[in-house]
Chain A
């Protein structure tokens, strides 16, 4: 496991660049990851998706289904990809500090 140093903070990450511990998440993390996820400027839309993912994860212990993410944020899947080019799993969940998606991906 690698350790990333950024803006005076350090983060433990896996090979795919997902945080090892949700508790390590902080706004600097988003700033650090955004470039590798193809995001130049963080907008309100990004923040809304990240906030909802974190909220949902804290309450339910899992990431929401894509359908629920769309319903609650009001963003269609197409808009989510416009915000996060690598999609809700690899892009948004990674930036929100959620654990890596698993299963037959």
Chain B
């Protein structure tokens, strides 16, 4: 029945986790049956040839995709990842197997109507296979041919009112945690900020103009559900300035065992009775909490907003009312000069429409990095090469102790000439008049 024998892949149909192999086979069968009578625009057996080439890869332990691929749609410099099989005679169904990145809604909330319309489009003009979603956030339509790209783009924009995502040396598709939509920890509307900035910077997203890729991610609190601090050059992380709100009655309900700690997250194992001393007070990283048997106190001036106590007792402890965000910069994967997470640039910034304060930081960084960044140099690497001081200068931010986890311990300190009385222009003769050779 199947076009290619796949003994190794068949093994991956065993076991409890949803099997991608069974799913692809199911799609292959549905295409073969074609109950809707579709006039498939790419080979009907595309998913079968994908399994075939994957089985060959499992056998050889080498990839069978050719290097690179440059395809796209007119007007944009990115959005499609071109890909060609290196055994096109054996697997003609995947001779072309381009990936289309489609911009997802912030927080990835969908209606079935919308998803059905995407699937209808993709059934006809693509492989029927997807990635929900790419790590950056995009809806990923996996596998189609070059002539279909403009067709897909036309239908996406004209019928689905949806645009492509980003790829190349540009602003990639931004993503956010689900934020205020259903999380009581959200310090700002991460979805709204994500959506607004995505629209604001469409040109930067569709037409590569940067030295390298650049990503935005938006976490509405330090828990980091979209991992902004590790996976975006520009990370906006929710924060509050005032005091944590404590409901002492509810604290007692936790101590009394009425409420499960961490909202029951550890109920799969017996950890004994909740011990507020051991599980909260002693775990606070700054030791700024105390519990006298009836009242929980927090010295908020020493609290670093790590979220631990709030995460353990969500019904009793709440984020403050004076909310905003911190901005961290420079996260990147290891290539070229080592992995980086975001470094704190702005400790606290208001997050209110139309987000002018945040846009100003972004645009100041871009002005600098677009001019000074070397070819294929991430922002984090430019920061390393030119110095954090330079980033502060171009963003007009004053240096504060919060910018470092520790001060430097080498003495190779640069001074600006104007900071030094007398400047750098010195006459050796004058020196010699006081110090003989």
Contacts and interface: CB of A to CB of B under 8 A. Distances in A.
Chain A bound to chain B: yes
A65 B375 contact: yes
B351 to A, nearest CB: 30
Contacts of B82: 16
Interface size class of A (residues with CB under 8 A): 20 to 34
A18 B69 CA distance: 10
Contacts of B169: 66
A83 to B, nearest CB: 12
A85 B75 contact: yes
B375 A18 contact: no
A90 B71 contact: yes
Contacts of A94: 70
A93 B207 CA distance: 15
B380 interface: no
A16 B71 contact: yes
Nearest to A65: B375
B67 A102 contact: yes
Interface string B364-377: 00000011000110
Contacts of A102: 67-68
Nearest to A77: B209
A100 interface: yes
Contacts of B222: none
Q: Which of B70, B76, B96, B207: most chain A CB closer than 10 A?
A: B70
B72 A67 contact: no
Contacts of A85: 74-75
Contact of A105 (B76, B167, B207): B167
Interface in A81-105: 81, 85-90, 94, 100-105
Interface in B27-71: 66-71
B79 to A, nearest CB: 10
Contacts of A18: 70
B77 A88 contact: yes
A65 to B, nearest CB: 5
Nearest to A76: B209
Interface in A27-54: 38
Contacts of B324: none
Contacts of B81: 105
Q: Which of A15, A85, A101: most chain B CB closer than 10 A?
A: A15
B72 A90 contact: yes
Contacts of A78: 203, 207
B84 A87 contact: no
B211 interface: yes
B179 interface: no
B69 A16 contact: yes
Contacts of B213: 104
Contacts of A104: 167-168, 213
Interface in B64-123: 66-78, 81-82, 84, 96
Given A86-B72, A90-B72, A67 B376 contact: no
Nearest to B210: A66
A67 B372 CA distance: 10
Nearest to A90: B70
B126 interface: no
Q: Which of A66, A100, A101, A103: most chain B CB closer than 10 A?
A: A66
A94 to B, nearest CB: 8
B208 interface: yes
B88 to A, nearest CB: 9
Contacts of A87: 72, 76-77, 207-208
Contacts of B208: 66, 87, 89
B69 A86 contact: no
Given A90-B70, A100-B68, A105 B78 contact: yes
Given A87-B76, A104-B213, A77 B207 contact: yes
B427 to A, nearest CB: 41
A62 B376 CA distance: 13
A89 B70 contact: yes
Nearest to B374: A65
A65 B66 CA distance: 25
A38 B74 contact: yes
A86 B376 contact: no
Nearest to A62: B375
The 6 closest A-B pairs by CB, nearest first: A87-B77, A85-B74, A16-B70, A105-B168, A38-B74, A77-B209
9 contacts: A15-B84, A66-B209, A67-B371, A86-B73, A87-B72, A89-B208, A100-B70, A102-B67, A102-B68
Interface of B: 66-78, 81-82, 84, 96, 167-169, 203, 207-211, 213, 370-371, 375-376
Given A66-B208, A87-B72, A89-B77, 4 more contacts: A16-B82, A86-B73, A86-B76, A90-B70
